[in-house]
A and B are shown apart, each in its own frame.
Chain A
Amino acid sequence: MRLRLPAAIPLVVALASLPVAAQVTYERLLRAAQEPQNWLTYSGGYASQRYSPLARITPANVANIEQKWVLQASVAGTWQATPIVVDGVMYVTQRPNDVMALDARTGRPYWLYRYNTPADQKACCGSNNRGVAILGDLVFMGTLDAHLVAIDATTGKKRWEVEVADHTQSYSITLAPLIIKDKVVVGVGGGELGIRGFIAAYDARTGKPLWKTSLIPGPGEPGHDSWKNEAWKSGGASVWVTGSYDPDLNLTYWGTGNPGPDWNPAQRPGDNLYSDSVVALNADTGEMKWYFQFTPNDPYDYDSVQVPVLADITFKGAPLKALLWANRNGFFYVLNRETGRFLMGRPFVKVNWASGLDENGRPIETPPPPGTAVYPGVQGGTNWYSPSYSPHSNLFYVSIWENSGAIIRRQPVEYDPGKPFTGGGWSTATPVPNAPGTPALRRGPFNLWTEATGTGAVLAMDPATGEPKWKFPMTDVTDSGILTTGSDLLFTGGREGYFQALDARSGKLLWKANLGAQIVSGPMSYEVDGKQYVSVIAGLSLVTFGLRE
């Protein structure tokens, strides 16, 4: 084929404006804020603020954004990934364990790497994968059978693979790995399947295991007495959302999941450390510097797998290295991220399982009687959906479920390796028997459960006090993450399929698009050739918007 177009062809080779090959050093990851055109990690930076300094799209012109491209997933099922973008190349995962490299301007793929997950993998809650990490010329993905794979960023070929845990015992990896220095850090899922959770680091060049920190202390280790009998062996504390990192403190922060069995705490008396906690680990050794447990002996499945948001704020008149945490249990927390000390906590949704928090942040428990509703329900006041902190507006933003309760059934369950280990179940609290309860995932375009079983909202809070600043209500609940930008825009979605731009200071709706399917992912933003884009996944579509030209 030869296509000759009517223009002179100077024999000049000048490729200066073309993308350079992806070589992402640790220094680039450390200074990600200095290259806002890229989105180098799952949450957009080590502080996990899901904040983009980009400001070409503004409150004044956001009404002029249009769809630039759509990539349709070739595999059905909820798509929860956040893409990363490096110098014009986007890397995104799709179910079950595919990685694609795309041109970030057009959405056209360069390559697809397919990891063949074994048929007997048992990821608890769907074949999700939330994304990749990148270092040097390698892209890293955790797999549903709990392997870690390094892929050539240029050619899409596998470079190494290691088993992180035994998938026949129902270990899995669904989170995007986190790169720290020369290490790839991952955690394991399986909290409904009787695993014993841990976080582990691997050499990024070779896959060699470097450290592994168990999230349930074994015999002789501090905290082991928070378990009785043999419950620690299958006690859960999974990790399925990417952690954060403070390079000055050399601490990496991860939220941990529920203890198991989920709903029958009688089988696991004690506080069940380090379930439902945030742990701060030395990034070089994995040694735990501190932990803070949000929900001791959790009987409600209040995983603390929220993204740990690091922010340097003013707290009671003094500068604070803060860890901001809107927890699934309905309380918003401010911790000192150097020490783990609890500084402040207050509910951000209706809470009836505790009347408040004591001076150490421990809940003052008021368990609802059996057969009555607990608020928030099992899906939580929020969940794994990425919150955002904007250093520009100095507000913390979180997707919340309001007035959504659950009635929990508790029953004994015997641990059978690799099998479901939940100890009961739950149903949405409804005012009328047999009325539709809010489902775990929306099916189709109807909202049959209505305000009677809960509604969604974006809540903006003062990060130092938890005081609400504004709220953007939605009729249906939301599982969407939140992105804020340097121009005080906030992007978020929801189950209804709307992708919305709000004024981050006021909550005013500035723009919306109906993407036709629920948004169960976190939006992100990047720039190529001086043009800002915003990407989000709705249903089976990765949709990218930019300003109309």
Chain B
Amino acid sequence: MKTSRLAAVLIPGVFALTLLVVLASEPRLAAQDHLGNYAQSDIARGGDVYVARCAVCHGSNGTNIGTANLPRGIFRRATTDDELKQLILKGIPESGMPPAKVDDQSLTALVAFIRAGLDVNARAVSVAVGDAARGRTIFQGKGGCTSCHRVGGAGSAAAPDLTDIGSLRTPSSLRMSLLDPTAAMVPLNRPIRAATRDGRMIRGRRLNEDTYTVQIIDEQARLVTLLKSDLSEYVISTVSPMPSYRDKLTNDEIADLIGYLLSLREN
């Protein structure tokens, strides 16, 4: 796996990978005119400000108001960081958004948090979001993604169904999943291997678990419940079966793939 390489990038706190924001086609994301090098401390502080001042209307996920999608950087009235700051300071009286009385430091932190996709764990980097149409071609072709993932009924269900992944994940977490799947793997998705006392070996991905049973989707994409009392072995791996695309796709292709994944929304 590429864990050591990721660590080498993370530890200095600066990503060498930057930062193309390509907005040639739908879904259209707001262009970012910054290099996104916000301080980690700002992102964390911005999270606190957001919870205190913004979440009551915009929601914890930043999508509760109209077409605004804060984690994806979709705002009708602001593009640049400065515009975003002015909008926050002045509010939108006709829509009911009040002016925010915040100091400069809090304002910068809030913008950093929004640009980090409302994810306090996001690294201090903005993510290149490319062309969704090209990303789709990569998803279905060169990337080989459909051999494990399903979108809109096409592809395997062995790995998580990505039909609405754009509603669930931020650009930075998608990027992390593509570059370092193991580090980004949601614990519920950890692969399991089980052997039954009568000699069957079962591999799959957990959907649900309790003390006595575990519900999985197996490698043949079947819904299966295992009774733990029937098992002679039950192993939960922390290594993702998904390959890293760090060396398989170019930065532009990764950006396009992220653009495509962000376009996958339920409605």
Contact = CB atoms under 8 A, between A and B. Distances in A.
Interface in A1-55: 1-15, 18-22
B157 interface: yes
A2 B235 contact: yes
A101 B217 CA distance: 12
Interface string A349-367: 0000000000000000000
Contacts of A105: 225
B236 A21 contact: no
B220 A157 contact: no
Given A19-B222, A89-B223, A155 B161 contact: yes
B41 interface: no
Interface residues of A, number: 39
Contact of B153 (A10, A14, A137): A137
Nearest to B209: A108
Contact of B161 (A8, A15, A19, A157): A157
A287 interface: no
B103 interface: no
B261 to A, nearest CB: 14
Interface string B212-248: 0101011011111101100111111000000000000
Interface in A41-90: 88-89
Interface string B246-267: 0000000000000000000011
Contacts, number: 109
B152 A9 contact: no
A37 B161 CA distance: 29
B197 A7 contact: yes
B136 interface: no
Nearest to B231: A5
A109 interface: yes
Nearest to B222: A21
B35 interface: no
Interface string B111-129: 0000000000000000000
A134 to B, nearest CB: 13
B201 interface: yes
Contacts of A137: 153
Contact of B223 (A7, A154, A161): A154
A154 B201 contact: no
B235 A13 contact: no
A154 B233 contact: no
A152 B157 contact: yes
A203 B235 CA distance: 43
B161 A152 contact: yes
Contacts of B231: 3, 5
B200 interface: yes
Contacts of B164: 157-158
A110 B215 contact: yes
Contact of A19 (B200, B201, B223): B223
B213 A103 contact: yes
B218 A18 contact: yes
Given A9-B201, A152-B153, A155-B157, A103 B223 contact: yes
B195 interface: yes
Given A152-B150, A155-B150, A157-B161, A14 B199 contact: yes
A159 interface: yes
A475 interface: no
Contact of B221 (A12, A154, A161): A154
A514 interface: no
Given A18-B218, A109-B208, A110-B208, A158 B225 contact: no
Nearest to A115: B266
A3 B266 CA distance: 38
A137 B161 CA distance: 14
Contact of B236 (A1, A7, A10, A106): A1
Interface string B157-169: 1001101100000
Given A2-B236, A3-B235, A106-B213, A157 B163 contact: yes
Contacts of A342: none
B158 to A, nearest CB: 10
Interface string B173-213: 00000000000000000000001010111100001101001
A111 interface: yes
A170 to B, nearest CB: 23
Contacts of B215: 103, 108-110
Nearest to A21: B222
Interface in B100-155: 150, 152-153
A12 B150 contact: no
A104 to B, nearest CB: 9
Nearest to A89: B223
A148 to B, nearest CB: 15
Contacts of B221: 21, 154
Contacts of A110: 207-208, 215, 217, 223
Contact of B234 (A3, A10, A111, A159): A3
A522 B202 CA distance: 36
B161 A21 contact: no
Which among A9, A19, A21 has the highest number of chain B CB atoms within 10 Å? A9
Nearest to A528: B225
B206 to A, nearest CB: 10
Contacts of A8: 232
Contacts of B228: 3
Given A10-B199, A152-B153, A156-B161, 14 more contacts: A1-B235, A4-B233, A5-B232, A9-B195, A11-B201, A18-B218, A21-B220, A103-B225, A105-B225, A110-B208, A152-B157, A155-B157, A157-B161, A159-B153
Across chains A and B, which 9 residue pairs bring their CB atoms closest together, nearest first? A7-B232, A103-B225, A155-B161, A9-B195, A157-B163, A10-B199, A1-B236, A3-B234, A5-B232
Interface of B: 150, 152-153, 157, 160-161, 163-164, 195, 197, 199-202, 207-208, 210, 213, 215, 217-218, 220-225, 227-228, 231-236, 266-267
27 contacts: A1-B236, A4-B233, A5-B231, A8-B232, A9-B232, A11-B201, A12-B201, A15-B218, A18-B200, A18-B222, A18-B224, A89-B223, A101-B223, A103-B223, A103-B225, A108-B213, A109-B215, A110-B223, A152-B150, A152-B157, A152-B163, A154-B223, A155-B150, A155-B217, A157-B266, A158-B163, A159-B152
